[in-house]
Amino acid sequence: MSKLFGMSAGQVLNYEGELPQEVTLENKPGFEQLNIILDY
């Protein structure tokens, strides 16, 4: 997970910044789902 976010394991475990907002892909058109995934 630390590689995914470009952070050390300690930074991930002791994260003090703003948590990401949950994104739901259900009931969204395919193109919108793809745009959401590619933006992250």
Q: What contacts 1, CB < 8 A, 6 or more positions away? A: 12
Read off the DSSP letter of residue 28: S
- Predicted local confidence at residue 21, as pLDDT: 74
pLDDT of 1-35, one tens digit each?
667 778 888 888 888 877 767 777 788 888 888 88
- Predicted local confidence at residue 3, as pLDDT: 74
What distance in Å separates the CA atoms of residue 33 and residue 40, rounded to the nearest whole number? 11
**pLDDT confidence band for 40 (50 / 70 / 90):** low
- Predicted local confidence at residue 4, as pLDDT: 72
Nearest CA-CA partner of 12 in 4, 3, 2, 20:
2
- Predicted local confidence at residue 12, as pLDDT: 80
Nearest CA-CA partner of 1 in 9, 16, 38:
9
